[in-house]
Amino acid sequence: MPLDGVHTGEDAFSSLCYGAFETETLMATATSTSSASSTTPTTSDASTTTEAAPSSPTIPNFPYPVIKHSADSVAGYYLNETGLTDVAVLQIREFESESSADDYEREFQSVIEKFLDAAVKTGKKKLIVDLQGNPGGFVVLGADTYAQLFPSIKPIDKSNVRDHLGFWILGNAASEMYSNATKTDDESDEQYDTVVYNTLAYQSIVSHQFYDFPDFETYYGPYPANGGNFSAYFQTNYTDPGYTNFQDTGIIITGTNNRTGFRQPFAAQDIVVLTDGFCASTCTVVSEYLKSYSGVQFITVGGRPQTGPMQAVGGVKGSQVFPFTRLLPWADLLHSPNNTFSELANGTIWEDFTYEAALRTLDEQGTGGVNGCNHFRYGEQTATPLQFVYEAADCRLWWTREMMYDPTFIWSRVATVAFKERKGTQFNSKYCVANSTGHPTSISGGWKAPWLGPQDPPDNIRAGLKGWKLQGKPLEALSPGHSTTNSKQTATNSPTSSTKVSKPTSPPGDTSDKAFDDDAVVDDIDVGGTDIDGLNVDSDELTSIKQACSSYTGDAWLVRVICGALNGSK
C-alpha cells in the first residue's frame, strides 16, 4: 500500500478508504434514491428498488408458512405440537427490505391481514409475535401492524427534536414552501413536501394530542427540558393518506379513512412478543405500543452467560431515522435562493451543511442515516426519552442447541412458557433464567403504564468478567472491590406538559445556539463502573497499513502522524 502523495485529509480518504466512490456517482445514486416513489420516512436506513426477485415458497431455514411476503419480511405459521395446535406465530423479520418493490408496503399489510384472518377462522387462540433480529423499517408499517392487532387503540407517538439554528432555518423555509404548495392546484406538491420535509415543516406533523400547530414558532418553542431546548411534542399524522400512501405506493393505516370495521383478532393476554435483544427503531416503536398501550408481555432469548434479567429491546429507541438520502434535499433547501432564512447560516457551522458529508458516508445503495427524533412514553411526566430507560423482559430464556437448528422449537418453548405455565402475568416456568422474571420495569414485576419503573439498573447490567477468550487469555471474575454501584437517573425538569416559555422573535444566534455545546448535554446519571480490558486484534487492512508505515521514508506530515499513532498503539 503506497503512502506517497498522502498530504491532506482528502488524500487519506481517497487512498485509505476502500470502496470510496466518486462524488458524481454518489450524487446520482443519492438523487435517484431520494426521489424514488418509496419516500416514506423510515426508522432504518435500508434502500429501496422497484425490482423484485422471484419469491421462494419458504424462508431459508424456516418451515413452510401459511403465508409470507415475497421479500421474506413477514410470514405466518401454525404450531403442530400436541397441546399447542391453537398457537399462531406472526414472524416479522423487518419492516423494510433492501429489495422493496413499489407494492412492498401494500403486500406487507395484506400478508398480516390475511394471516390474522385465517388464524381466527381456523380456531387459533394464541399468538406469538416474533420480532427476533428486527432492525426496523417503515414507520407506517409498524403503526399498521399494531393497528391490525388492536384496531380500537390509536398508535400515538410522542416525539421531539432538539432546537438549534439549523432546525430554525430549515423549519421556517420548509414551512414556507409547504404553505406555497397548498396554494397550487397540484396536490402532489403538497404531498411531496409532507414526505420530504416531514418533521421540518410544522404542517407535516401534528401535536402528540393530534392538534394542528398554528405556526412554526409554536412548534419550535423552545421548550426547556433536562437542561436543553427542544421542540414541542409531536407525531406524524398517520391518518393522512397523502403521507402514508404517497404517490399510491404506500398504505392506508388500519382504522383510518376507508380501512375501518376491523375486529381485534386476539386478546392482549393471549399474545406474547419474542425478541432476542436485537430490535431497533420501528421495532422498538411497535414494542412500545404493544407493552404500554395493550399490556402485552415479552419473552427474550439469549444474553450474556449470567443469570438475571435482560432487556427485550436492545436497539436504538428513537422514533424516526433521517436517511442521508433524505438530508440531501434538506441541504438543497438550506442553500436554495428561495430560502429567505439562508443568510442566518452565514458565519456558522451551517454554512457547511452540504452534500459532501453525506456523500462521503453513502455506499452504492445510498444507505446511512441518523436517528433524529426522541421517543417518549405517552402520559409519562419526567420528559425522559425511552432511549435512556431500562426495561426488562418478563422472562428470559437460554439458547439451546435445538433452537439453533429448528425455529419451531423456540416457538414451542415460548408457547409453553407463556400460554401453559404463566399464571396471570406471573412467569413460573423452569425455563425462565434464574432471577430474570418479575423485574419492576416489566409487567411481570407489577409495572403499569405510563410509569417508567425504577431506573436502578439490576446488579448484572454490567460485565462481571475481565478479559476475553482470545489468544488463550482466560476470563477472570472481577474482585469484590470492582462491583458496580446502583445508578439513578433523575430528570432535572419534570413538566406536566410541553410548556412553552417564549417564542423567538429572531432566530437563535450562533454564540448561544451550538448544537454540540457542552451545556446542551446533561449527565444526571452517577455510574460506578470498571474498565474491561480487551485485546487489540488488527484487521487485514490495519495490518497492511502498518506494514506500509514500516517501510515509509517520506516526510509527508499526515502520513507521519498516522504512522506514529499506529506504531504507538498496542
- What are the pLDDT digits (tens) for 337-394? 999 999 999 999 999 888 877 777 766 555 678 888 999 999 998 889 999 999 999 9
Determine the pLDDT at residue 164: 95
138 DSSP β-pair partners: 42
Query: What's the pTM?
Result: 0.73
Pick the residue with more confidence: 197 or 268? 268
**Mean pLDDT in residue range 243-260:** 83
Determine the pLDDT at residue 363: 60
Question: Considering just the CA atoms, what is the radius of gyration of the chain in Å?
Answer: 25
Pick the residue with more confidence: 305 or 10? 305
Which residues have CB under 8 Å from 47's CB, separation 6+?
Answer: 33, 98, 325, 365, 366, 367
Question: By percentage, how much of the chain surpasses pLDDT 70?
Answer: 71
Q: Exposed (0-12), middle (13-18) or buried (19+): which is 556, by Cβ within 10 Å?
A: middle
Query: What is the three-class DSSP state of 76?
Result: strand
Given pLDDT bands bounded at 50, 70 and 90, which one contains residue 157? confident
Say whether pLDDT at 20 is over 70: no
**Interatomic CA distance for residues 50 and 119, integer angstroms:** 31
**Mean pLDDT in residue range 51-65:** 78
Q: Exposed (0-12), middle (13-18) or buried (19+): which is 496, by Cβ within 10 Å?
A: exposed
**Mean pLDDT in residue range 57-66:** 91
Give whichever of 52-66, 238-252, 440-454 has the largest mean pLDDT.
440-454
**Interatomic CA distance for residues 40 and 18, integer angstroms:** 31
Which residues have CB under 8 Å from 325's CB, separation 6+?
Answer: 30, 33, 34, 47, 358, 362, 366
Say whether pLDDT at 471 is over 70: no
Determine the pLDDT at residue 555: 72
DSSP label of 507:
P
**Interatomic CA distance for residues 201 and 190, integer angstroms:** 11
**Mean pLDDT in residue range 230-242:** 89
Say whether pLDDT at 225 is over 60: yes
Determine the pLDDT at residue 114: 97
Say whether pLDDT at 25 is over 80: no
Query: What is the three-class DSSP state of 279?
Result: strand
- Domains by residue range for the chain, with CATH: 67-155+259-317+389-445 (3.90.226.10), 159-237+318-377 (no CATH)
- Of 119, 146, 117, 153, the closest CA to residue 131 belongs to 146
Given pLDDT bands bounded at 50, 70 and 90, which one contains residue 483? very low
Determine the pLDDT at residue 46: 39
**Mean pLDDT in residue range 22-45:** 41
Point out the least confidently predicted range of 60-74, 221-235, 385-399, 524-538: 524-538
Given pLDDT bands bounded at 50, 70 and 90, which one contains residue 556? confident
198, 250 Cβ separation under 8 angstroms: no
**Interatomic CA distance for residues 265 and 114, integer angstroms:** 11
Pick the residue with more confidence: 118 or 39? 118
What is the b/e burial string over 347-362, where b = at least 16 CB atoms within 10 angstroms of the residue's CB?
Answer: ebebeebebeebbbeb
221, 215 Cβ separation under 8 angstroms: no
Given pLDDT bands bounded at 50, 70 and 90, which one contains residue 184? low
- Of 311, 318, 467, the closest CA to residue 391 belongs to 311
**Mean pLDDT in residue range 166-172:** 95
Say whether pLDDT at 570 is over 60: no
Query: What is the three-class DSSP state of 229?
Result: strand
Give the DSSP H/E element, type plus range, for residue 143: helix 139-149
Determine the pLDDT at residue 390: 93
Cis peptide before 265 (omega within 30 of 0): no
Pick the residue with more confidence: 29 or 170? 170
297, 443 Cβ separation under 8 angstroms: yes
Determine the pLDDT at residue 22: 43
Q: What is the pLDDT of residues 500-534, one digit of tens each?
A: 333 344 344 333 332 222 222 222 322 233 222 33
Say whether pLDDT at 209 is over 50: yes
Say whether pLDDT at 485 is over 70: no
Determine the pLDDT at residue 475: 45
Q: What is the pLDDT of residues 401-427, one digit of tens each?
A: 999 999 999 999 999 999 999 999 999
Pick the residue with more confidence: 257 or 549? 257
Say whether pLDDT at 191 is over 90: no
Determine the pLDDT at residue 217: 96
The rounded mean pLDDT for the chain is 78
Q: What is the pLDDT of residues 71-124, one digit of tens each?
A: 999 999 999 999 999 999 999 999 988 766 678 999 999 999 999 999 999 999
104, 71 Cβ separation under 8 angstroms: yes
69, 116 Cβ separation under 8 angstroms: no
